[in-house]
Structure 1
């Protein structure tokens, strides 16, 4: 089940928007420091400098705050991903994958404590990540077709699914690594492995 929508409580006035964002920022910092389960809405209200009633005006419970923070990360990932794919059109597979991984990692590493808390506190299949994955998969498939040329659509689906799964697995785990050197090597190695897979697929079709 995807994250709950907060659209019905999304304010339109600038002051209300600022208050809402302030609550989210306070919650993000607390989640990163204490974890989701150990952070109450009362503590979030105190950190944001507002009353508990103000928090409930925008978010009926803590789960809604978590869902909104996750949605914020998802939206930023999709934006970075789309921009990077557009800029990396007509490039070798390894460079394309590396660029995509780096774009997603940039967002995931902007607030490592929060990402770590979200990964620890949420189940992938109830977090909304599958919905994001489907949208990103369409973008990757278009690039795969552009790079490899005309071919079997089912094979492209399998290759695209493999690429996206490998990227998600790598990013979700590597984003919380404290050693940035190790993190960068993990990203580079994943890109090489995926490029090798794509090259082998392309070679297999040309030799059939």
Structure 2
């Protein structure tokens, strides 16, 4: 039975232990991406990582904990990248701001593509944290829009943030897949940025004093 009690061993401080833990996560991410989460057991992860199942259980109590660790790391990466965008000066156009958001999302998805697809595919069966993450990311985009548009008393900034998030996420996911179909990823992003940017720009123009 996997040991659940000794939580301290899951956050190793020694370099060798850190390397072992990182290897488990790297192998799990690769297997989840190629086989799917539901088809990947902890025994398979341990075997591919060239370690005993007992060694794996010293760091993770079960597969769900590995999934959570991988998604937490991915979400922290996303939050960090988008939080940096908030610091960009408000002098850039809404269109260029949207393009920056989309290019950043695609870069993250391409880097973690197989894992992201596995997490989305198995969302119904595992507590991947994606539903809980969506409000956090929407808040970052909301802050970004406030920075671009200024005071938001007379506009529904929450709905705007939701639209930008949904459209941007869909475009990012599709652009990664569609490049295999011969479609220019950058062109897709730029056209989407044109459309969303024009909408945001029109809102900004209506709010400027005559």
Give the TM-score, by structure 2 length: 0.82
Q: Which residues of 2 match residues 131-170 of structure 1 at below 5 A?
A: 131-152=132-153, 155-170=156-171
Aligned to 2:42: 41
Aligned to 2:3: none
Cα 1:89–1:200 shift into 2, 3 Å = closer
Cα 1:124–1:42 shift into 2, 3 Å = closer
2:42, 2:62 within 8 Å by CA — same for their partners in 1? yes
2:9, 2:59 within 8 Å by CA — same for their partners in 1? no
The structure with the largest helix share of the pair is 1
User: What are the ranges of 5 or more consecutive residues in structure 2 without an aligned counterpart?
Assistant: 1-6
TM-fit CA distance, 1:17: 1.4
Cα 1:124–1:41 shift into 2, 3 Å = closer
2:119, 2:128 within 8 Å by CA — same for their partners in 1? no
1:31, 1:39 within 8 Å by CA — same for their partners in 2? yes
1:98, 1:187 within 8 Å by CA — same for their partners in 2? yes
Structure with max Cα Rg: 2
2:23, 2:49 within 8 Å by CA — same for their partners in 1? yes
TM-fit CA distance, 1:11: 2.1
Cα 1:137–1:88 shift into 2, 3 Å = farther
TM-fit CA distance, 1:132: 2.8
Give the TM-score, by structure 1 length: 0.83
What is the alpha-carbon distance in structure 2 between the residues aligned to residue 124 and residue 148 of structure 1?
A: 39
4+ residue runs of structure 1 moved beyond 6 angstroms? none
- Which deviates the most, 83-92 or 60-69? 83-92
1:112-138 deviations in Å (ceiling 9; x for gaps): 222222221224995322433323333
What is the alpha-carbon distance in structure 2 between the residues aligned to residue 126 and residue 96 of structure 1?
A: 32
Aligned to 1:185: 187
Secondary structure (helix, strand or coil) at the match of 1:109 reads helix
Q: How many positions carry a matched residue from both structures?
A: 203
Aligned to 1:121: 122
- Which deviates the most, 70-79 or 154-163? 154-163
RMSD over aligned Cα atoms: 2.8
